[in-house]
Amino acid sequence: MLLEISELSVSFQSIYGTIPVLDRVSLAIHPGEIIGIVGESGSGKSVTAQSVLRLLDRNANYTGGSIRFRGHDILSLKEREIQALRGKKIGMVFQEPMTALNPTMRIGQQLANVIRKHRGVSRTEAERLAVEALAAVQMKDPEKTFRQYPYELSGGMRQRVVVALAMSSPPELLIADEPTTALDVTVQAEVLKLMKDLSAQTGTSVMLITHDIGVVADMCDRVYVMYGGTVVESGKTADVLHHSNHPYTRALIEALPEGKDKNKPLKIIEGESFNARKRPSGCAFLDRCPLRSARCHHKPPFVISASGHRSACWEVNVDHAVNQ
């Protein structure tokens, strides 16, 4: 196993007191695998991703569970030890490339600095490898891009640079936190294909954070559906998308515009988005679920099928339920 998150719980200190944000999240990634984490804004996707590299703000507290990378407990590592993992073993692509790039430094200098740090090569060799990295992410003129500043590039080009930075080691795991949010559809498809191709070439595993189920269907081997800071359904991508058990997963799929009658309004998920300050005692989806019943006020068990498809819902066949 490359990465294993087990029963991870995270809370934040705020002016309202202690707010539980993640509730016993468990997921795993095998070497060379691409997994997707999907859900609405506020479902806990980014907090889960940032927890892997311990990038959460100081007001965050890990209140339970573990994160293991190659068997090593991430949460017990010292700062210098986690620094050795960041970038070299675990890379990350953030939502907005302009916040990930230094606007005062040329692209080549930023890439060369990262390469020298992680590979220990000379400046000349680092610059050569930086040009190669830009070529690998299909920049049309890598030598020219090497000399440019971030503001001289388009959004899609900047995101390619960020991918090049993240893959410069290359890492064993790449975490991509909604990497195409600010891009148009055409550029989004190009960047996602680039990441998939690089993963296939280098053997790098990918954790893709997104709210787009269509992207998950195209990219991912397995998918985890999150709501309210917890995983409500997981399994092989085709299995989860075509045989969804959880009402939330089905609602997300039904809200997709593809294949719908243009003369009819799209279905929406009724009710207000999840509020961590008002977490229900039972199922996190309780207040918005059309199938809710009295037993939903209790924590739902996980139902696990023979294929490994897991669903946390009382409406799934409870004869095969496994307690959390």
Query: What percent of the chain shows pLDDT beyond 70?
Result: 97
Short-list 33, 38, 28, 34, CA closest to 214: 38
Q: What is the pLDDT of residue 172?
A: 95
H-only helix segments in 19-154: 45-52, 79-85, 97-100, 107-119, 123-136, 142-147
How many other β-carbons are positioned within 10 Å of the β-carbon of residue 247? Answer: 22
Q: What is the pLDDT of residue 182?
A: 67
Cα–Cα dist 233/316, whole Å: 11
Q: How far is CA 231 from the centre of its chain?
A: 13
DSSP-derived letter for residue 318 is G
Q: What is the pLDDT of residue 319?
A: 44
Confidence of residue 324 (pLDDT cuts 50, 70, 90): very low
Secondary structure class of 10 (helix, strand, coil): strand
Cα–Cα dist 236/310, whole Å: 10
Beta carbons within 8 Å of 105's beta carbon, 6+ residues apart: 149
Q: Mind listing the domains of the chain with CATH numbers?
A: 3-89+169-322 (3.40.50.300), 90-168 (no CATH)
Q: Count the alpha carbons within 13 Å of 73 in the hemisphere toward its beta carbon.
A: 9
**Has residue 317 got a pLDDT over 70?**
no
Q: Dump pLDDT digits (tens) for 113-136.
A: 999 988 889 999 999 999 999 998
Q: Dump pLDDT digits (tens) for 206-254.
A: 999 998 888 899 999 999 999 999 999 999 999 999 999 999 999 999 8
DSSP-derived letter for residue 37 is E
Backbone phi and psi for residue 78, each to the nearest 5 degrees, phi listed first: -75, 165
Check: CB of residue 59 under 8 Å from CB of residue 231. Answer: no
Q: What is the pLDDT of residue 321?
A: 43
Cα–Cα dist 206/220, whole Å: 9
pLDDT, mean of residues 288-315: 87
**Pick the residue with more confidence: 259 or 6?**
6
Q: Would you state the structure tokens that stand for residue 123, as one six-digit string?
A: 């400046």
Q: What is the pLDDT of residue 318?
A: 46
Residue with structure tokens 């299995």? 239
**Has residue 310 got a pLDDT over 50?**
yes
Q: Dump pLDDT digits (tens) for 57-116.
A: 999 999 999 999 999 999 999 999 999 899 889 999 987 777 789 999 999 999 999 999
pLDDT, mean of residues 10-22: 93
